[in-house]
Amino acid sequence: MKYLILLLAASPAFCDGLRVEPDDIVLAGTGATQRLLLTVERGGDEDHAAGCRLVSDNPAVVAVQDFTAVAGMPGEAAIRATCAGLHTTATIKVTAATAAPGISFTRDLLSILTTKGCNNSSCHGSPVGKAGFKLSLYGSDPAADHRMIAVDRRIHRTEPASSLLLRKPSFQLPHGGGQILTLQSDEYNTIRQWIAEGATADTNAPRMTRLDLYPRERILAGENARQPIVVIGRLSDGTTRDLTGEVRYTVLDESVIGPPSGAVIAARRRGLTVLTARARGLTATAQFAVIERRAGAGYPRVEANNLIDDFVFAKLRRVNITPFPLSDDQVFLRRVFLDTIGLLPNADETKTFLADAAPDKRAHLIDNLLDRDAYATHWLTKFEDWFRNSQYYSQGRTNGSYKRWLRDLIAGDRPYDEAVREMLTATGDTTVRPAGNFWHPAIDFMLKTFEVSKATPTVTRLFLGQRIECAECHNHPLENLTQDDFYGMAAFFARTKVKHGYAQYRRIWYDTREGEVLHPVTKQPVTPRLLDGTTPSLSGDATRREILAEWITRTQQQQFARTTVNRIWAEYFTLGIVEPADDFRSTNRPSHPELLDRLALHFISSGFRFKALHRLILNSRTYQLAAHTADRPGGTDPLERALFARYEPRKLPAEVLLDSISQVTGVPQQFNGYPVGTSPKELIASNGATHFLTTFGFPRRDVMEPRPDGPSLGQALLMMNNEAVRGKLAEESSVLTAVLNQHQDNRAAVNELYLRALMRPPTERQSAALISFLDAEREAGRTRRRSFENLLWAILNSKEFQLNQ
């Protein structure tokens, strides 16, 4: 069912209002302060309310000075904000001081190490440290850092200023990182005093449990736009702490906004970027966009087809980008065929659809396509890429049965969670239990053994969108992901075994009751531990793989669903909402977090069925937008792509391009050992691919990488000169024979060819060029047939043909 909303009509997202951030402030002790941020929301736009007032109803508890709350005596105060006729109230609590007097290691020292960059991933926070001095990444492990720092070699308790800890960063001794501290600076003095006070660890101090960065999203309009930011840390004792000046900030793209200066962000150039704040091993991110000006009254009303459009269009409005118009029927027809079934519509399908006047004909066509066999054949190629159904791993012996199993999954729209459980827990002979082929890429071909280190990252990446392969060798440089996490997960596969049968190609999977993974450093058996840090109960009959499969598809259902819908989304929009599509991490912010969550819920509530997801995406106006129009070129603004303002043109995948050439020319493909007309999608041995297929990026499926999608010299040469194209043109049985017989009129013949290839007649200018080309060919003495071969060559070599747009 289609429902409409008008973007400017009232919807919850567009309530005017005022907001004080952070919320839930609990100041610890008299004198504690917290910067506040006031945001005014009007007509869907949010902005920093600079000239507004904040008043405390109980200044003895909380006084407000210049957007900063200052704690007085314990109690509670209401802060009232007033701004241009809008009001709001926030409550701030004050508790008695919780910290011991004096310099605190976890609070003060770690914040210096963080803000000065000492513990970042390229200095002492790198997995191996620097020059023998290793700190935890952004202070994630205060106890370890204290052990590393508070040793006699580094600190001099009686003469603090002689400590290595001060002499190196202040460059009194050579320091690879240069001068970090100036003598007698606040930071220098703090460290010196901490040493003088005994260099103690306050490991009993409350732990930081969460970091919040405000604003979470902000559009900066105009090159002079400024935005204050606030970071608040939430501690395990329930108090909060202003960390705005104590975190390490990084900006993903510094051409868009500058790094914070005095806790203020300044706009630089049009674009979209992410600000990350890190402290105590915690991360918070905020999305910033810079635009010239905000949407005004002239911003058009845009019709939304479904929930996808609500989120996408709301965001586009905030950055003042009008979505491109709805695509023409011809464009939509070609696109939806290519995206769902990977084939061009035939002449009848084209004519019928274009002539259909029904308002819901697109929705009908989508249903029709998703019910076709070709839908499964087409999406199968993507599933085979993801699951690496490669001859490289199975020597071709069970590629076919796995292929069939995957195809049935897609064609039958099987609940994906159930199918994944079947793969993750598969046992038995893979020739009769094809789901077990999932594990083949984890077999060491020479040793014939199952390698847990290969299985582990595959499973987390495919089903949870988490790339943990780097943690096999070193701790993750950006996230708090360690070798312990990697081997904790790997331990779930410790009891998975494979037997090689006849000629080594028949494989039988089974689980044993014993066997452990050894930690590469400690050489001790590792207890299975999930990525959330918990260890499930291992007693009972369930195998470790079964326990893991339950955790992934049930306990982690939402992340499993997010990962899956994001992968599908990326197929349609060339970018994931999280990009790269299988790289979810705290430092990689989704472009539309709420949309991703909604899509995940939709997928879960549909029973993990792909067709429901396809239908939702394909029916959205976002999917159906034009890529460009005559008066609005596409591809000029990076924001368009990042925020899905248009359909992003992409090259036809290898198999689709070859099938399309066969369709247009009417000359089927012939692969060795397969019946005439077999689609390249149906080839079983991926290594048997032809020059054509590999040149256009058909993968060996030996590694888990997206297909290469760029153009190349080889592709251009191939399209121009290779037998795969030119042979089909010259073929007596090609469509040219029939078309030329049927149409004595060149114009009609040209139109027919255009309709076959591009679902539309040529434009006037193209028509003129085509006709004058045919005239010139005749004058040059070439036959009508030969001229048309050259003409069709030009159509097949045209960008429009080789693109899906």
CB 183 within 8 A of CB 169: no
Q: Is 420 helix (H, G, I), strand (E, B) or coil?
A: helix
**Any bridge partners for residue 77, and if so which?**
92
Minimum Å gap between C-beta 719 and other proteins is 9
Least distance in Å: CB of 769 to other proteins?
A: 4
Identity of the residue, 17 or 127, whose beta carbon is nearer to other proteins in the bound complex: 127
- Rounded Cα distance between 537 and 518, Å, is 20
Closest CB to other proteins among 109 and 331? Answer: 331
Q: Closer CB to other proteins, residue 171 or residue 505?
A: 505
Contacts of 359 (CB under 8 A, 6+ apart): none
Closest CA to 507 of 421, 605, 439, 408: 439
User: Shortest gap between Cβ of 650 and other proteins (angstroms)?
Assistant: 7
Do strands 86-95 and 25-28 pair parallel, antiparallel, or not at all (unpaired)?
parallel
CA distances from 516 to 281, 468, 489, 523, 545 (A): 30, 20, 12, 11, 13
Work out how close the CB of 426 gets to other proteins at its nearest, in angstroms, rounded to a whole number: 21
Between 1 and 446, whose beta carbon lies closer to other proteins? 446
Whole-angstrom CA distances from 585 to 252, 479, 682 are 14, 7, 36
Min dist CB 715 to other proteins, Å, is 7
User: Cα-flanking dihedrals φ and ψ of residue 597, to 5°?
Assistant: -65, -40
Closest CB to other proteins among residues 167, 726: 726
Question: For residue 272, what is the enclosing H or E element?
Answer: strand 271-279
Contacts (Cβ under 8 Å, ≥6 apart) of 637: 270, 321, 645
Instruction: At 276, give phi and psi (nearest 5°).
Output: -120, 135
Interatomic CA distance for residues 638 and 268, integer angstroms: 15
Report the alpha-carbon distance of residue 13 to residue 426 in Å, rounded. 46
Instruction: Please identify, using beta-carbon distances, which residue of 386 and 793 lies nearer to other proteins.
Output: 793
Question: Phi and psi of 500, rounded to 5°?
Answer: -100, 125
Work out how close the CB of 761 gets to other proteins at its nearest, in angstroms, rounded to a whole number: 13
Smallest gap from Cβ 443 to other proteins, in A, equals 11
Q: How far is the CB of 582 from other proteins (least distance, A)?
A: 10
**Which lies closer to other proteins via its Cβ, residue 41 or residue 571?**
571
Is the CB of 35 or the CB of 507 nearer to other proteins?
507
Instruction: Report the distance separating Cα 37 and Cα 23, nearest Å.
Output: 10
**Least Å distance between CB 796 and other proteins?**
10
Q: Smallest distance, Å, CB 239 to other proteins?
A: 35
Q: Which is nearer to other proteins, 241 or 728 (CB)?
A: 728
Least separation in angstroms between residue 689's CB and other proteins is 10
Closest CA to 547 of 559, 556, 557, 536: 536
- Judged by beta carbon, residue 243 or residue 575, the one nearer other proteins is 575
Secondary structure (DSSP) of 566-585: HHHHHHHHSS-SSSSTT--B
CA distance 681 to 521: 45
Q: Check if the beta carbon of residue 175 is closer than 8 Å to that of residue 169.
A: yes
The amino acid at 625? L
Q: Output 70 or 771, the one with its CB closest to other proteins.
A: 771
How many CB atoms within 10 Å of residue 504? 11
